[in-house]
């Protein structure tokens, strides 16, 4: 996958520069220790023009992520959102994935930094996990313990856990991994939240041990709007195995159904599931084909 070419521009600390000419600091604390924070947003080509879905929520979370690890965040979010739109225009992108990254400069100490840089990049990206129903495994890796990390923050170094889990899943012939929390409950996938469907009700793990996905919250809002029972509850592996259906959600993956967990294949057809209805509703929402205010 090529993320940029000769012409690609990125936003770096207040200026638009060519991605190819932007250097990297080999003594950077973020590079050595994963001390950085990032976000992932999507811009959609809607009938109202290019629109970034829930941009304020994403930048608010970026600010919180930085604050949680003491990385200075001196930018105004409204300004950054405007720069995202400018970035899309400069790169002729109508629909894109947008990646803001906050990173620190040279510092080999294991104490928080006083300086921070920001970059915004964008590229065309289809649904992260594709469009086919997924086969997922219960990972041998657990999610980070909330007492070791700020698991509600999007901190670069924490994604080693996701890389390990999804690489293991793919090596074993699956598409994605489901990770347990430190108490043995199913938490989420490597970079998506999990919902299961059982007897016409939808369940998802509570926020305590899972990442507060913006798509997760959108799904909950959609369920409430459609009058679907949505219950936040700790889920055992058995709950997931015996569900009627399940799906993952995230900005990059959007909403994608699961057909198999380990060697258990769900018997109910995805097309007739509540998840499939939510998937359509979500697509309409991001494309502004419905009245957004009604849902929120």
Q: Would you name the residues annotated as active-site residues? A: 154
Q: Which is nearer to ligand PMP, 11 or 53 (CB)?
A: 53
Backbone angles phi, psi at 290, to 5 degrees: -140, 170
Q: Which is nearer to ligand PMP, 147 or 267 (CB)?
A: 147
Smallest distance from the beta carbon of 114 to ligand PMP, in angstroms? 27
Binding mask 200-219 for ligand PMP (x = CB under 6 A): -----------x-xxxx---
The answer to whether 188 contacts ligand PMP (rule: CB under 6 A) is: yes
Q: Which is nearer to ligand PMP, 107 or 193 (CB)?
A: 193
Q: Which among 205, 166, 169, 164 is positioned nearest to 187, based on CA atoms?
A: 205
The position carrying tokens 């970079």 is 191
Overall residue count recorded for the chain in this entry? 296
**How many residues line the site for ligand PMP (CB under 6 A)?**
14
Q: Which is nearer to ligand PMP, 9 or 61 (CB)?
A: 61
Q: Do 69 and 29 touch, CB atoms closer than 8 A? A: no
Beta strands in the chain (DSSP E): 9-12, 15-18, 36-38, 41-46, 49-52, 96-103, 117-123, 134-142, 176-180, 186-189, 193-198, 201-204, 230-232, 245-250, 254-261, 264-265
Backbone angles phi, psi at 220, to 5 degrees: -60, -45
Binding mask 243-282 for ligand PMP (x = CB under 6 A): -------xxx------------------------------
Buried/exposed code over 181-216 (b: 16+ C-beta within 10 A; e: otherwise) = beeebbbbbbbbbbbbbbeeebbbbeeebbbebbbb
Q: Which two tokens mark 287?
A: 């494309």
Smallest distance from the beta carbon of 292 to ligand PMP, in angstroms? 16
Per CB under 6 A, contacts with ligand PMP among 122-141 are none
Smallest distance from the beta carbon of 248 to ligand PMP, in angstroms? 9
Per CB under 6 A, contacts with ligand PMP among 134-173 are 154
Which of residues 175, 176, 181, 192 is near ligand PMP by CB under 6 A? 192
Which DSSP symbol is given to 106?
Answer: B
Per CB under 6 A, contacts with ligand PMP among 87-126 are none
Smallest distance from the beta carbon of 283 to ligand PMP, in angstroms? 15
Q: Which two tokens mark 103?
A: 């990173």
Per CB under 6 A, contacts with ligand PMP among 21-80 are 40
Q: Which is nearer to ligand PMP, 30 or 188 (CB)?
A: 188
Q: Do 105 and 118 touch, CB atoms closer than 8 A? A: no
> Which of the stretches 134-142, 168-176, 189-197, 234-242 binds ligand PMP when contact is defined by CB under 6 A?
189-197
Q: Which is nearer to ligand PMP, 10 or 55 (CB)?
A: 55
Residues 7, 11: Cα–Cα separation, whole Å: 13
Residues 6+ apart with CB under 8 A from 109: 29
Smallest distance from the beta carbon of 217 to ligand PMP, in angstroms? 8
Sign for the pseudo-dihedral over CA of 75, 80, 86, 92: positive
Smallest distance from the beta carbon of 251 to ligand PMP, in angstroms? 3
Q: Using CB under 6 A as the criterion, which residues of the chain lie in contact with ligand PMP when the complex forms?
A: 40, 154, 188, 191-193, 211, 213-216, 250-252
């Amino acid at each position: 996958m090529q993320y940029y070419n000769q012409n690609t521009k990125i936003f770096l600390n207040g200026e638009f520069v060519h991605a190819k000419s932007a250097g990297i600091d080999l003594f950077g604390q973020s590079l050595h220790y994963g001390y950085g924070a990032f976000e992932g947003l999507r811009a959609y080509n809607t009938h109202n023009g290019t629109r970034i879905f829930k941009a304020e929520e994403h930048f608010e979370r970026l600010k919180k992520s930085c604050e949680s690890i003491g990385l200075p965040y001196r930018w105004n979010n409204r300004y950054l959102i405007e720069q995202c739109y400018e970035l899309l225009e400069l790169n002729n992108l109508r629909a894109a994935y947008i990646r803001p990254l906050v990173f620190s400069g040279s510092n080999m100490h294991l104490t928080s930094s006083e300086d921070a840089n920001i970059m915004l990049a964008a590229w065309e990206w289809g649904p992260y996990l594709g469009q086919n129903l997924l086969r997922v495994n219960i990972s041998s890796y657990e999610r980070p313990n909330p007492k070791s990390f700020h698991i509600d923050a999007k901190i670069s170094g924490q994604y080693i856990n996701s890389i390990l889990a999804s690489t293991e899943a793919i090596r074993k012939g699956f598409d994605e991994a489901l990770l347990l929390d430190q108490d043995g409950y199913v938490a989420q996938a490597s970079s998506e939240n999990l919902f299961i469907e059982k007897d016409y009700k939808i369940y998802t793990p509570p926020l305590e041990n899972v990442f507060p996905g913006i798509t997760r919250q959108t799904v909950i809002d959609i369920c409430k709007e459609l009058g679907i029972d949505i219950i936040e509850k700790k889920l055992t592996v058995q709950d997931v195995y015996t569900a009627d259906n399940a799906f993952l959600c995230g900005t990059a993956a959007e909403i994608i159904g699961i057909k198999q967990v380990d060697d258990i294949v769900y018997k109910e057809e995805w097309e007739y599931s509540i998840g499939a209805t939510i998937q359509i509703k979500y697509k309409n929402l991001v494309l502004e084909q419905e009245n957004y205010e009604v849902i929120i």
